[in-house]
Chains A and B, each alone.
Chain A
Amino acid sequence: MKKVIISAIIIYLLIIIQTSFLAHFRFLYYLPDLVIVFVILLNLLESQQEKTGLIISAIAGFLLDAFLGKPFGFYTIILIAASLAIKVIIKKYLNLKLSK
Chain B
Amino acid sequence: MTSNLQTPKRIKSMLLLILIGVIYLALNYTSLGKETKNTLFLASSPLQIFLWNQGQSLNHFIDKLKGIDALEIEKSNLELENERLKAELADLLELRNENENLKKALDIGLEKEFKMTVADIVSKDLLQDMIIINKGSDDGLLVGFPVITPQKTLIGKIEEVFPNFSRVILTSNKNNSLSAKIDSEEEIIGVTKGEGNLKIIFDLIPHEKEIKKGSLVTTTSLGGVFPKGLLIGTIDSIDYSDVKPFQTAQINPGFDFKNLDSVFVITNFKK
Instruction: Give 9 pairs: A residue, B residue, CB < 8 Å, sorted on A.
Output: A16-B123, A20-B123, A21-B55, A23-B123, A23-B257, A25-B55, A66-B40, A67-B44, A67-B123
> Could you tell me which residues of chain B, from 43 to 60, have a CB within 8 Å of some CB in chain A?
44, 47-49, 51-52, 54-56, 58-59
Number of A-B contacts (CB under 8 A): 74
B125 touches A24 (CB 8 A): no
Q: Is the CB of B55 within 8 A of A22?
A: yes
Chain A 71-93, CB within 8 Å of chain B: the 1/0 string?
11100100000000000000000
Q: Is B167 an interface residue (CB 8 A)?
A: yes
**What 0/1 readout, one digit per residue, does chain B (147-169) give for beta carbons within 8 Å of chain A?**
00000000000011000000100
Q: Are A33 and B122 in contact (CB under 8 A)?
A: no
A17 in contact (CB, < 8 A): yes
B9 near A: Cβ within 8 Å? no
The residue on B at minimum CB distance from A17 is: B51
B82 within 8 A of A: no
- Contact between A20 and B28, CB atoms less than 8 A apart: no
Category for how many chain A residues contact B = 20 to 34
Question: Given contacts A24-B55, A24-B56, is CB(A69)–CB(B36) below 8 Å?
Answer: no
Residues of B within 8 A of A16 (CB): 44, 47-48, 51, 123
Q: A65 → chain B, closest Cβ, in Å? A: 8
A18 within 8 A of B: yes
Asked whether A95 is an interface residue with its Cβ less than 8 Å from the other chain, the reply is no
Question: A residues within 8 A CB of B127?
Answer: 33, 68
Determine if B28 and A72 form an interchain contact, defined as CB atoms under 8 angstroms apart. yes
Q: Which residues of B contact A (CB under 8 A)?
A: 24, 27-28, 33, 36-37, 40-41, 44, 47-49, 51-52, 54-56, 58-59, 62, 122-128, 130, 132, 159-160, 167, 197, 257-258
Given contacts A20-B122, A72-B27, 4 further A-B contacts (CB under 8 A): A20-B124, A66-B37, A67-B37, A67-B44
For B49, B159, B257, the residue with the greatest tally of chain A CB atoms inside 10 Å of its CB is: B257
**In contact, A19 and B124 (Cβ under 8 angstroms):** yes
With beta carbons under 8 angstroms apart, the residue of A18, A63, A69, A76 that contacts B167 is A69
Contact partner of B58 among A18, A20, A24, CB < 8 A? Answer: A24
A72 to B55, CA, bound (A): 28
Among residues of A, the one whose C-beta sits closest to the C-beta of B39 is A66
Contact in complex: A21, B36 (CB < 8 Å)? no
Residues of A within 8 A of B51 (CB): 16-17, 20-21
